[in-house]
Structures are given as C-alpha cells and as structure tokens.
Structure 1
C-alpha cells in the first residue's frame, strides 16, 4: 500500500491510468481522395483527437506531460472503411528520420505514427499499423500478447510533407478487421507518435511503458454497422507459392448466421481481378474452397474478397509477396563427373506457381568452351516443383563444359541458370 502511494506521489499520471480517453466517431458518407491532403469536409466533421501525453522518453520528468509537437488526429467511418488522418507538426521537417524501417519490417528508430485498432474492445486483440514520413508501412495483428507479423493489411494510405508538418491519411477496410455479428459499437483505439530527435513517444492513451497495451487503449463509441454482414469465419490452408505464374488459395469458410448465404469469392493480384466464383452456403455449414490467381514479374499484393448477394464485402484477406530473384534452384550438383558415368542426375526445385508447372518447359543445353552445343534436352508436363531428371552424357568426351537451363512458361523465358562442370577419366576409364 505504501509503495503504491509513493508511486502515485512521484508519478501522478499512474494514479489516473484507469481514466482512459474516450471519443465518439461519426459516420460520414464521403468520396475522400487518399492523397495526404486533409481538406475534404469529411475531415472537418470528423472526431478530432489532440490531447496527447508523453508516455516514454529519455527524461522521466516529462512523462505524463504535454508534448511540444502535439499532433492532430481525425477519425470517421462509413459502411466499408475506417478513416484515420494525422497531422504531425514539426519545426525540423528536413531532419525527420526515415532510415530504419523497411517495407513491412518495423525497424526501430524512425519518426513514425502507430495506430492500434481493437474492434469490440476485446482488450486482447488488435491490429497495428506503423507508418513513417517516407511512406514505409509495417502492419501486424496481435492477440493475447502474440505478434502475428504474417498478417497483412489492405490499407490504402498516403504521406505528404509540408513546411511545418507531415501528414498521414489512411483508409482501412472494415472487412479485414475480422468483425463478428456481436463485435459491437465500442472499440479500443490508440495512436502514438515517436520523435527520435526529441527521444519521446507521445500517445492519446496512457500506455506508459510500452505501446502494445490494449487494456490501456482509449475508447471509441458510436461505431454502428450492419453486423449481419459479418457472419463468416475463414481459415486458410495455403496461399500457394506466391511466385510468378498461376496458383491458388485454399481455405475453409463457415456460415455463422441462421440464413443461407449466396456469396461470391474474388481474388485480385495488384488490384487486377484474377478469378471469381459464386457459391451457396447453408447456416452452420463449412465449405472447403480454392480460388486461383496469377502473378506477373514483380512484387505485389494478393487479395481475397468475399461478397454477399448485395455485392457488399464481408471479408478481406491480404497477402504481400516478393518475387524471388531466381526460379530455378539446382540442388546437389557436382562439378566433376567421370567418363564412366553415363548420366548426370539433376535435382531441381522450380519456384513458380503450382498451376504453371504443367505449362512450363525446361531446356537443358550442354556446351563446350567454344559455346558449341553438344547435348539438348527438353522437359515439359512437370507435376511437382521438386523433380529429378537425368541427362545422358555418355557421348560427351573429357573436358570442361557449361550446362545451361532455360525455364519457360507458356513459351516465355522467365529464368536462365548456367553451371560449369568437368568430365575426367576415372579409375575405371
């Protein structure tokens, strides 16, 4: 008891840590352009949050006090999205730090804002978004203190710098927040800002000691949605290889409502429709489904949308992917073979979409030091990404050679790999 009184005397903000900030979020139909310019009427009519306090810093005497560069945060929602706009004031815009974060990797040390959304005020599950002034983002889902960095968001956002501030404008799909029929209109929320030049964290909610404390998030009220729209439960088995070519997502979907549902599933690769399927699911029924997708030669974003009969999006799942540098992986290849060995066994892995295997062709070409072709073999109709193929080389003499492997999908060359080897006389030649 005495310890608690002493703590409250020296750190008065601890005594009020249960007095969490609150706000009512307005519903606003809008046609906002996400460009980092908060000039539309929807932002003027939104909930404004400006009461930030310092919750972490090098100087302990600053804790609980108002920061110098206090931001303004604006919130509203419509039937499909949750909107957050933040104006971060600073008298040293050119000195903002943006060197630590990498895309979807939360490197500590940059100027940044962090948003935390806890639908239904669970106090244990939330979605986190970190954005720095260079427009680099990190996102994850957290539940029961477990970080799920593999979770990706379909957030649309923009960052813009001005002379006296930098601005973040965001548009978050409600259907990616795993809403349920009983989620309710009271949500947990917090927003923080890290200023490395001042070495402080400022926050709307009293999250002293660390930002990821959902029991101390602020409270948002008035989020009234058509909760009957969110009565689906999805579990994902596989996203496929997430590489160049054609593949498919495998998942199960359960109807938690008491009504039959006519649904549409769609996949999008970088915003371009890849596949669409319609299906009916009965009350309480679980269905196993797969939807195809195509990926071109660049990194990007894959999205799954589930829509109801009205065309409303009930569920969104997003996955970012990076195309590998090489699509042919040659394993256990030896640099020297005896003349008595009539074949070279190749063990390969093809890092391409599963549905593109049967459409692909590999050309094996052995050339001498003068680039003269001595052996050519073509393989197609491949069933497995891991496969073995023998190259019969009994007619190739002693010497040094190059093995060129060319991978094609639908006749288009997508990768080439060259390795050298030597044929020599062995003890039995």
Structure 2
C-alpha cells in the first residue's frame, strides 16, 4: 500500500469522517420514516415494560393478578399498531375527508361528558365517558387529532386561494373553532389538554406564516387566558402555588410532585434495576399514568430518562423534517401540528414530574397506561408515516427496497401480489 493509499485509509476511518458518515444518514429519503417508526416502537415497548413494573404491586393487591394493567395496555397496543399501519397507507385526501367527522364526533363526545350521569369524574376532572367493565373513553384525546386535521385542511384551502394575507382569514374560523373545543375541555377541568390544544393552534399559525406581531399577540392572549383559568379554579391555583413552593404542604398538595422527584433522584445514573423500584409500593400516586417517567428514572436511572428524551427529540426532528420537505400545504401543516401535539405533551408531562412545570395530569405519549390517549397518538404517527413516504425521493427508495413484510405475508396467504 502506497503512502497516499495509507493516508486515504486513515482519513476514511478518522473520527471526523465517521461523524460525517453518520450525519449523512439524516439526508436519506426515508430517514423520517424510519425515525418515526423506530422511535414509536421503542417507546411502545418501553411503555409496556414500565406499565407492568409500575402497576404490578398495586394490581396484585387489588385484583390478585400483577398483569391486569399490562394485559389491558397490550390489548390497546395490539389494536393500535394495525390502525397505525393502515393509516400509513392512506392517501392524503383521506385525511382531509376525515378531518371534519373526527372533530365533530369529538365535540359531540365532549358535550356528552358534561351531561350528568354520562360523564365520569376522575381526580377532580370530568374527562371520561364510562362504558362499564373498565372501558372508558376520554374524548379530549381524539379532539387533538381532529383539531390538527381540521385546522390544517382549513388553512391549506385558504392558502391555495391566496386568502391568508388578511389577518381575519388567518384567525376565522380557526380561532373560534379552537375556542369551542378548548371551552368544552375546560368545562371538564382538563387544563393539560387545553395547553396542548393551544399549542396545536399556535403551531398551525406559525407554519402557515403568520406575521410575528400577530403570532406574539395570540401567544400573549393564550398566556393571559391560561392564567385566568388557573386563578379562578381553587384546585388549579393550589397546584400552581405548590409548584412555586415545593416545600410547603408536603403531605397533601405537594406530595405527588415531591415523591416523583425523590423517585428520579434515587435512581442515580444507572437506576435501581427494572422492577426493583421502591416508590411504586404505594408511595407514588399514578405511577403507571401521569408519573410513569418517575418510575423510569428510578429503575432505569439517568440513562433511561435520557433515552426517553432522545427518542422524543428524534420524533420532533423527524416530524419537522417532514413538514419542511413535503410540498403539499396540508401535509406541511398537519405534520407540524401533530409533532407539536405529541412533543409538547411529552414536555409538559416530563416537566411536571421533574418539577419545572406545574402538574397538569396528562400522560406521557406512548408510554403511560391508557388506550384513549394511545390510539389517537398512534393514528397521528401513522399519518406522519404516510407523509414521510411522500418526501422527495421516498417513493423511489421504497420501490427499490421491494415489498415489505406485510405485503409478503398477504402474498403468501394468496391475498395479494408481491411487487
């Protein structure tokens, strides 16, 4: 080997070259597709594991079986993944057609929640319709998906007609429609979902190119409304004061938040070990839902929490990459709105657990127990997969890859043909 060849070989395996090679993977056509699919499956697997770990002690005492919540959550996952796959195969037109029925049905369900005898109050919030047998629906969860689709379709139509140069066209009817959904959610005392809906509204305005002054004004108005909603409701105001003074009322208002921080702190760098946590022995309220991140921190340590943050960070990158690369205005708006919904909800949940944000009672997407939140989230991710396949060069890359496992399975069963 000549000196020139040796130098080229050293350059090829240098740290800088290896980093450049890894970064080049982000420029491939199907990067967004695989990031969303991979992170979603990893978070689902982590969620099933942590739901079992966080709940088995209490469920063994309540039901005689440690696997009660795991079986329920696994059932929702088994329903949700095929729905996600089917959603990823839908044409863009289907999402625009479904936008209005999903939003209208969600609004109707939110109204039914407020009807005495139909709505169920859980932990101070009337968010659920109870069908009996442990089956409950939280209408505010599909309302997030409905608002994303409806808002994206509405603004895309107006952009096509060049109507968005007028600030009134930007806000009407988007702002009144969002206000109706928010009002119904707030009548059920669900501040966490309200914040997510406001985030979707602002994300849609930002992506469509709203002038900075108008966007800043809308942000200020939302902050003012949120402050009023907190102050007028005693239990929400108590949560805010408890957040500002964590040392006060340690056995009542601040008990859950303090226990969550202690659980994460006790995990150290590597954690106590999967299933070895102590706080789930009835020392941490809602450890399988709102505070499951605390169980992750205790049992998997700093490494586990950083992995969770990293996966949500990759989901944010992939979703915004889709919004930047697709040409269709509806896809751009819907991708940004869905990404904002899922990522901001994760930030609000994690922020509450580590006491940098007040407790709002919303679940960690894909990880916390609950089918009402899981199914709409998987549908939203399926929609992002459908959009990712329409990025520049993605169709050619998929065609070159050949038929996937689903297509091959259908072919083997005689229900389809391999391409």
TM-score tier after normalising by the smaller chain length:
under 0.3
Normalising to structure 1: TM-score of the pair? 0.24
> Which is higher, the Rg of structure 1 or of structure 2?
1
Higher relative contact order (CA 8 A, sep 6+): 2
Higher strand fraction (1 or 2): 1
Normalising to structure 2: TM-score of the pair? 0.24
